[in-house]
Amino acid sequence: MDWGFVIYKAIICVGVFGIALVVAMYSTWWERKFAAYLQDRLGPNRAGPMGLLQPLADGIKMFMKEEIIPNVSNKFLFILGPCLCMLTACMTGVVIPWAKDVMVDGKMYPIQITDINIGILYLLGVVSIGVYGIMIGGWASNNKYSLIGAIRASSQMISYEIAMGLSIISLVILTGTLSFREILEQQDAGLCYAAINPLGFIIFFICALAETNRAPFDLPECETELVGGYHTEYSSMKLGFFLFAEYINMFISSAVMAGLFFGGYNFPWAKELYESMGLNEGDTWITVIGFGVYFVKILLFISLFMWIRWTLPRFRYDQLMNLGWKKLIPLSILNIVLVSVGRYVYTHYFQ
């Protein structure tokens, strides 16, 4: 057994997990600050400087709240619901390469938990399992509002998964690979796939909004109709898990979009910059700079999610379904045709 390898993997796993949790935690703070800015308010400013300790205070409050499990519900499934939500949210970050490889003692170490050659399909698979947490939680609550919320959430997620998968297929046709890492490497020269395949990116972005149950697609927790949606019966940290999973999902989907369509850790004139700094491949600084660039892209996407949430009103349910099935799916099929023709013409006449 190679212990160095085990330790390295453990560090990467804990690192990715920790970053995802911290970013999710501070997304709640940033969401409030951002909303306050848009609505000309101050936002949280009591706990710590600029309200920076607010997420901690929220967490403590969540833990201290009384935990109520309805008598009539199935206890095991009731607890399993939020656990599954958290689990699938954390599992998606596995295939994302966070920075360029780093060299330690003459050996290259990728900053990625694992590079499976079907990374994108794995991502789709985990996303499709994510429905179960919500469905099981909503059903086990034994409450009509929860059940309707859960069914809304899952039908929404299934509907938008199709358009999302189709937009990813257009990207796969373009890149010729299913490996996350290779797609990022192909955008090395500062050219990003959002510029080549803009329609695919827009469809993917809309679907990501719907998959994470963010406004304007937050019908599952539509207060005016459903009390609290699928987590009506939940209290204490189990409710916290549901809310937290949403923020982790937002972080991961931002990372996926920034990676697949905007080059991840690559940026224009990266090579020239590294050369002028006198850095060779495998230097720690390249990894650090690449990670920083990727992180800024992710944060910009998270902010875009929030901007949209506090700008657009919620869709009606039939509008949501019409958009998904009658507009996005035909559009993404059209996009596949366009991309295939474009690729054929490019490889046969311009190379």
Instruction: Identify which of 214, 307, 289, 284 has the alpha carbon closest to the alpha carbon of residue 252.
Output: 214
Distance CA 133, CA 142 (A): 15
| Interface with another protein in residues 44-83 (CB under 8 A) | 77
Name the residue nearer to another protein (CB basis): 117 or 311: 117
Residue 330: asked if its preceding bond is cis (omega within 30°), the reply is no
Name the residue nearer to another protein (CB basis): 58 or 161: 161
| Site track 161-190 with another protein (rule: CB under 8 A), x = hit | x----------------x------------
Residue 87 found at the interface with another protein (CB under 8 A): no
Residue 125 found at the interface with another protein (CB under 8 A): yes
Name the residue nearer to another protein (CB basis): 129 or 300: 129
Q: Which stretch binds another protein (CB under 8 A): 10-18, 95-103, 116-124, 192-200?
A: 116-124
Phi, psi of 296 (to 5 degrees): -60, -40
Distance CA 157, CA 178 (A): 22
Residue in 52, 151, 321, 333 binding another protein, rule: CB under 8 A: 151
Residue in 124, 227, 279, 308 binding another protein, rule: CB under 8 A: 124
Q: Which stretch binds another protein (CB under 8 A): 56-64, 114-122, 190-198, 281-289?
A: 114-122
Give how far the C-alpha of residue 253 lies from the chain's centroid of Cα atoms, to the nearest Å: 2
Residue in 25, 111, 113, 136 binding another protein, rule: CB under 8 A: 136
Distance CA 278, CA 236 (A): 53
**Minimum Å distance from CB 125 to another protein?**
5
Q: What is the DSSP string of 188-251?
A: TTS--HHHHSHHHHHHHHHHHHHHTT-TTS-GGG-HHHHTTGGGTT--HHHHHHHHHHHHHHHH
CA R_g for the chain: 21
Question: CB neighbours (10 Å) of residue 311?
Answer: 10
Residue in 12, 16, 20, 131 binding another protein, rule: CB under 8 A: 131
Instruction: Identify which of 152, 102, 104, 160 has the alpha carbon closest to the alpha carbon of residue 128.
Output: 160
Residue 147 found at the interface with another protein (CB under 8 A): yes
**Minimum Å distance from CB 124 to another protein?**
6
- Give CA angle at 268 (266, 272), nearest 5°: 100
Q: Which stretch binds another protein (CB under 8 A): 11-19, 149-157, 197-205, 289-297?
A: 149-157
Name the residue nearer to another protein (CB basis): 44 or 119: 119
Share of the chain residues as helix, strand and coil, in percent rounded to the nearest 5: 70, 5, 25
Hunting for tokens 């023709």 — which residue is that?
341
CB-based contact 265:291 (threshold 8 Å): yes
**Minimum Å distance from CB 120 to another protein?**
10
Length of the chain measured in residues? 351
Residue in 45, 114, 117, 311 binding another protein, rule: CB under 8 A: 117
| Interface with another protein in residues 5-34 (CB under 8 A) | none
Instruction: Identify which of 213, 314, 227, 301 has the alpha carbon closest to the alpha carbon of residue 264.
Output: 301
Name the residue nearer to another protein (CB basis): 16 or 150: 150
Q: Which stretch binds another protein (CB under 8 A): 11-19, 123-131, 228-236, 261-269?
A: 123-131
Q: Which stretch binds another protein (CB under 8 A): 48-56, 117-125, 210-218, 326-334?
A: 117-125
Sign, CA dihedral 312-316-322-325, equals positive
Q: Which stretch binds another protein (CB under 8 A): 65-73, 125-133, 209-217, 293-301?
A: 125-133
Interface with another protein (CB under 8 A) = 77, 116-118, 121-122, 124-125, 127-129, 131-132, 135-136, 139, 147, 150-151, 154-155, 158, 161, 178
